[in-house]
């Protein structure tokens, strides 16, 4: 149990560092874009905080209960990790799709 807690706390700390990095990265964004990113960052921060509290509040009530908790908690932590990893990817993909859309392609043609 202690090894699991240490691993989880390390991931939670890494998520906190990612939040700091995200905030630094969006500092120069336009006001509207920055506000949207800040909402998303706050949601990630809240989920991270909730997971930390859930782990701290857990009281072991037997091996089967621990295994169920660990499985569910690990899944939730992995999902949050994916959300952190993909934080900027969705916006980049949306931008790429917009740039590749038929309307934009016709506007972006160059004469050779």
The gap from C-alpha 11 to its chain's centroid, in whole angstroms, comes to 12
pLDDT band at 92 (very low <50, low <70, confident <90, very high): low
| Of residues 57, 94, 59, 78, the one with CA closest to residue 7 | 78
Task: Tell me how far apart the 2 most distant CA atoms of the chain are, in Å.
Answer: 73
Angle at 50 between CA 46 and CA 55, to 5 degrees: 150
Distance CA 99, CA 104 (A): 6
What are the phi and psi torsion angles at 2 (to 5°)? -65, -40
Where do the domains of the chain lie? 2-107
Distance CA 81, CA 85 (A): 6
Distance CA 46, CA 41 (A): 9
What tens digit of pLDDT does each residue of 1-40 get? 889 999 999 999 999 999 999 999 999 889 988 999 999 9
């Amino acid at each position: 149990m202690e090894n699991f807690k240490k691993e989880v706390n390390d991931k939670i700390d890494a998520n906190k560092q990612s939040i700091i990095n995200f905030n630094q990265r969006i500092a120069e964004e336009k006001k509207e874009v920055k506000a949207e990113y800040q909402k998303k960052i706050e949601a990630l921060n809240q989920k991270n905080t909730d997971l930390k509290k859930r782990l701290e509040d857990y009281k072991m009530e037997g091996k089967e209960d621990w295994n169920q908790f660990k499985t569910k908690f690990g899944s939730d932590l992995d999902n949050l990790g994916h959300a952190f990893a993909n934080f900027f990817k969705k916006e980049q993909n949306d931008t790429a799709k917009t740039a590749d859309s038929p309307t934009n392609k016709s506007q972006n043609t160059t004469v050779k």
